[in-house]
Amino acid sequence: MHGRRIGGHEIAGMVLPCRFDAAVAALKKHLLALDPALVVCVGQAGGRAEITPERIAINVDDAQIPDNAGRQPVDVRIVKNGPAAYWSTLPIKAVVAALRKRGIPAAVSQTAGTFVCNHVFYGLMHALRTRPQVRGGFVHVPFLPEQARDGQPSLVLSVMIDAIEKTVAVSLGTQRDIQAKGGQTH
């Protein structure tokens, strides 16, 4: 998606390291260099069958498996004196409704877990706390079909790209999220 334009904004895509010690530092470097209007972080959640915008980031790293640097923190605060959690500022229910309308499986996820994805989401929202004009959040995507094993759910890349493009468009064009019942998982 890097270089594409959506709603008059150019997309700047980048890959962050899947490391507790480096992901947020890399993200902050990009935030300073780009001065974005919107930040949508994306991570993979094996086992999920839907595109899942995350509702909340919590201030804890508690890894069941090691990150790509071999680190496996347990019950460690992401920001020592930071708040317990940050809410997404993306219109997550409007995103889910728009994705479903396109026939893309989607649901609101109540938590981003406690691995690197949540670490990045919390770090993003902590960095944006002084920039209320910049919306931000996190979206989990399923495995690709070639990654799925033993009947695990998956989605093809083209559907995921369509979903993220729609997430960006809805987030840029929706000032207030909708109130809707249902659609929640996790």
Which of the residues are catalytic?
54, 117, 140
**Which residue type, as a one-letter code, is found at position 117?**
C
The candidate with the shortest Cα–Cα distance to 142, out of 172, 101, 178, 99, is: 99
* CB neighbourhood size of 184 (10 A): 15
Residues 6+ apart with CB under 8 A from 94: 170, 174, 177, 178
Residues 6+ apart with CB under 8 A from 169: 6, 7, 98
C-alpha distance from residue 61 to each of 28, 32, 73, 123, 125 (Å): 18, 24, 6, 11, 15
Q: What angle separates helix 157-173 from helix 92-101, to the nearest 10 degrees?
A: 130
Burial of 182 (0-12, 13-18, 19+ CB in 10 A): exposed
